[in-house]
Structure 1
Amino acid sequence: MGSFSGAIMRMESQGLTHIPASRNQGHRPRASRTQPVHRKSFKISILPQACLCLMLCLVMATGMVAVHQSDALAQGGDSAAIDPSASGAANAQAVPSTEESQKPATKIPETPLEILNGLGVFVYPLGLASVLVLWVTIERLVVLRRSRVIPQPFVRRFFDHMREGHLDPKTSLQLCEENGSPISIVFAHGLRKWGKPSVEVEQAIIDGGERQTSQLRKHIRVLNGAATVAPLIGLLGTVAGMIESFNTIAAKQAMGRTEDLAAGIGLALLTTAAGLLIAIPALIMYMYFAGRVDSLIIEMDGLAQDLVDLISAEGLADQERAARSTSSSSKSTEVKKPA
């Protein structure tokens, strides 16, 4: 006690026992203008919590409704099981549905005959397109043979005789007309301009070459047309089949039977598959024949240019000068030998 009272007396002597009025008054806070702001922030902080509580209440209410519905269904099933008359009626109603569910679904065609029957009316245009593609392919394979368009034995003998000077315009023209190949016909157009300027001979060969080019490209567009139209016919058949399938299912009220829907869609897609089976080979053969014709035309153009150099006025003049130079050189050698 003495030490404690002595410490207090020392604090009083040093002036440390003075306590502010605000502390002696029980820490009563002063009036401030910031108190309304604290109330507003408190209200704002409560809003998210209130929204969360409301959402939880809604979720709980929904769960309770679902539980009540499941209980009601369970009670209904128990009552139906207890009531024999109700169960008998339910079984009687369930028998037709099971019998209907056991009916065989629409079978997807597997054999060629079933596939043809599944195509319906679209089998006629697709069949016509397939026949055209097959016919044009076989015909062009025969016509575009290189040995038929540019027979090498004829071309080799013809140019050998032309360079040796064994053929005159009439004889050479007759040989080309008798041969009848596309390259001989092109040669014949140029031979009719024998001895004319090279421009006229080239123009005649160009005219004949254009006719032969059109003949070589004949019927190839049929393949391109079939490759374009066949998938469209197949797509049209698929759309028509889908419409018919959905109408049938709607009439039977069998939307729950997925096997009927799958079988109907599979049957409808047969036309698209058939169209693609026709279009893909047709497009491949079209590209093959187009490239073959281009290569043949390039080779024919080179041979025709060689003919122009032989029968044009400029070419004949060059040949005469070459012959004169050869004869003069031979004469000079003969004159030098006696000396």
Structure 2
Amino acid sequence: MKTTNLKVSKIANATALAVAILFGCTVCHAQEAPSGAVQMAERSKSLWDMVSAGGPMVYPILLCSFVLLLVVFERTLSLRRRRVVPRLFVERFLLQIGEGGLEKSEALDRCDSNESSIARVFTAAVRKWGKPAVEVEQAVLDEGERVANELHRYLRVINGVSTVCPLLGLLGTVSGMMQSFDVIANSSAMGRTELLAGGIGSALLSTAAGLSVAIPALIFYLYFVGRVDTLVMEVDRRGQEIVHLISAEGLEDRRNRPRGNSKQKKAA
């Protein structure tokens, strides 16, 4: 019986010692890594918590970012080359007209079957088939101007987002700093630096949110402006080519060219 009690007491002592060691290790680990726990707590903050901490000006900035995404997606699809100046259609169309393979009615049907912007310019030019070059060129310029306006559509929205978002962020910064100064002015808050830091943090979040939306918006705006300028120049160049092909002067020149070549061959 005594032997049994002795064994039980040894087991109990060993268990207590193990629990004490485990508890001590846990406490030491918790004391050695408090910063890690704080970091994990900070990382566990959701995006909504950060937005809420940024103040009320963050919400219109988020709305601007949503509008920016929609406009960028729409302009990316609309400003593709095959939607504006499809290379294969343009080269075949101009080649067939230059070789006399298309008449006015056939050229109009070919343009109507294509939904690109350059097809509209070609349609306006073909309707003036055989007219003086001045009339054909004026038709091309008028339709080209309408196409250019459509290509520039919504770019002002992107520019507006890049301009307004920093101002919204600045307004949030000013309001956050005003709250911080109110905290300082409150006598009961003297010595509580965490309250002052909270107001400054909200102000900085608002500024960061505004710049995070404005900088990409400005980059997209500059990219799309350059893209539109390139496409407009291409439309203008192709429009001038068709003017030389279907105007009265161009048709007359094509009629006289084979005769001149045959005369030169006979003389040779």
The answer, yes or no, to whether TM exceeds 0.5 is yes
1:221 is aligned to 156
2:230 is aligned to 295
1:122 is aligned to 57
In 2, distance between residues paired with 1:252 and 1:294? Answer: 61
Q: Deviations over 1:141-185 (max 9, x none)?
A: 111111221111111210121111011111101211210201111
1:265 is aligned to 200
- Note if contact 1:126-1:274 (Cα within 8 Å) is conserved in structure 2: yes
Letter in 2 for 1:278: V
TM-superposed deviation, 1:329: 4.8
1:278 is aligned to 213
1:175 is aligned to 110
- Note if contact 1:108-1:267 (Cα within 8 Å) is conserved in structure 2: no
In 2, distance between residues paired with 1:229 and 1:114? Answer: 24
| 1:245 lines up with 2:245 in the alignment | no
Q: Deviations over 1:210-258 (max 9, x none)?
A: 0000111111111100000001011111111211222234335323333
TM-score by length of 2: 0.79
Letter in 1 for 2:56: V
* RMSD of aligned Cα (Å): 2.0
1:308 is aligned to 243
Select the residue among 114, 122, 137 that pairs with 2:72.
137
2:129 is aligned to 194
In 2, distance between residues paired with 1:172 and 1:285? Answer: 37
Give the secondary structure class of the aligned counterpart of 1:120. coil
Letter in 2 for 1:201: V
Larger radius of gyration: 1
In 1, distance between residues paired with 2:66 and 2:129? Answer: 46
Q: Deviations over 1:3-46 (max 9, x none)?
A: xxxxxxxxxxxxxxxxxxxxxxxxxxxxxxxxxxxxxxxxxxxx
Gaps of 5+ in 2: 1-40
Higher RCO, 1 or 2 (CA under 8 Å, sep at least 6)?
2
In 1, distance between residues paired with 2:81 and 2:187? Answer: 62
- Note if contact 2:155-2:224 (Cα within 8 Å) is conserved in structure 1: yes
2:87 is aligned to 152
Instruction: Pick closer, same or farther for the CA change 1:199–1:300 going to 2, 3 Å.
Output: same
| 1:205 lines up with 2:140 in the alignment | yes
- Note if contact 1:193-1:200 (Cα within 8 Å) is conserved in structure 2: yes
TM-superposed deviation, 1:196: 1.1
Gaps of 5+ in 1: 1-106
Q: Deviations over 1:266-292 (max 9, x none)?
A: 112211110100000000000000000
| 1:232 lines up with 2:174 in the alignment | no
Letter in 1 for 2:206: T
Instruction: Pick closer, same or farther for the CA change 1:121–1:307 going to 2, 3 Å.
Output: same
Instruction: Pick closer, same or farther for the CA change 1:266–1:119 going to 2, 3 Å.
Output: closer
TM-superposed deviation, 1:206: 0.4
Letter in 1 for 2:237: G
In 2, distance between residues paired with 1:257 and 1:108? Answer: 21
- Note if contact 1:108-1:263 (Cα within 8 Å) is conserved in structure 2: no
TM-superposed deviation, 1:326: 3.2
Letter in 2 for 1:271: S
In 2, distance between residues paired with 1:108 and 1:267? Answer: 15
Give the secondary structure class of the aligned counterpart of 1:166. coil
How many residues of Structure 1 are paired with residues of Structure 2 in the alignment? 227
